[in-house]
Amino acid sequence: MDTFQSPPPPSRRDKDPGPTSVTIPASPFMQKLGFGTGVSVYLMKRSPRGLSRSPWAVKKINSGCSQSQRSLYQRRLREEAQTLRNLRHPNIVGYRALTKAPDGSLCLAMEFGGEKSLNDLIEERREQGLGMFPAATILQVALSMARGLQYLHAEQRLLHGDIKSPNVVVRGAFESVKICDVGVSLPLDENLTVSDPELSYVGTEPWKPPEALESGGIISDRSDIFPFGLTLWEMLTLSIPHLPIPESDSEEDSFSEESFDEDAYYAALGTRPALPPEAMDPSQGSVRELFLVCTAREPRERPPAARILQALEQGQL
């Protein structure tokens, strides 16, 4: 699911969970769901002796990694498991086990939150030429994400640190929407700020908030709100922030490496991307309002997750 990862800080509460005795099938016998730096995510079906059990998503270190890389990724998986095992919320993918595969690779088994990521659904919709998602669907995703972020920020004092459409998993016709991948999360202090000078925001470049791109920028709970707003933008434009919006259902026709303006891309990072004309449809008014306030340049001008949640639940948008 993730494309850029770095080790998160140790948990403040629990000790290392340690490997659990669970049998993980060899990679060729599992369906590949996604991949990241040094890891792949697989669907593990669990139906022993005819019993039907909920499937798991298993993050496994890639076999081609060098020994030094393998050691690094094992440490990262342990630390991600350390964070994830403390989280219990219907809009956050849950922890299941830390175990080993037949080849000895450390694996993190998680709740299977959905068949596809939001990014998968965005790509499919673009390829099918269906246009932006309906406002009701976007607000439904926003509500689920706001619930998950409010839990992380206010109850767990944790910054997710990498909010984006690939880190949102969806089941069915948006019956379930969950935030996943807490591998680069950061602890928040009593002011909901990352105050430890040894820690830094990692994120993923197109979704980074402006304070994460500036030297000395203060990282806080509002640093998750900016990419939250960009995720809504993705559902309106069916594109990745700050990259050219495809003009057809063929990416080859609308975007190529030769035509990519690298200087313009880097200059646009951390800014609010423009909306295309079709997103100005009156039906999308509430979505636009939420997008605009969440992508304010100044963090203090962005609403906290709790306020977003309240507005969505009370139909104030």
Q: How far apart are CA 79 and CA 115, in angstroms?
A: 25
Which helix or strand (DSSP H or E) is residue 56 part of? Answer: strand 53-61
CA distance to 54, 110, 188, 235, per residue, from 48 (Å): 11, 18, 42, 39
Is 189 one of the catalytic residues?
A: no
157: left (phi > 0), else alpha (psi -120 to 50), else beta?
A: left
Rounded to 5°, the CA angle 79-81-83 comes to 75
Q: How far apart are CA 187 and CA 195, in angstroms?
A: 9
242: left (phi > 0), else alpha (psi -120 to 50), else beta?
A: left
Instruction: Find out whether 179 and 93 touch, Cβ atoms under 8 Å.
Output: yes
Q: How far apart are CA 88 and CA 96, in angstroms?
A: 11
Catalytic residue among 2, 162, 181, 221: 162
Instruction: Find out whether 5 and 76 touch, Cβ atoms under 8 Å.
Output: yes
Residue 239 in 3-state DSSP?
A: coil
Q: Which residues are catalytic?
A: 162
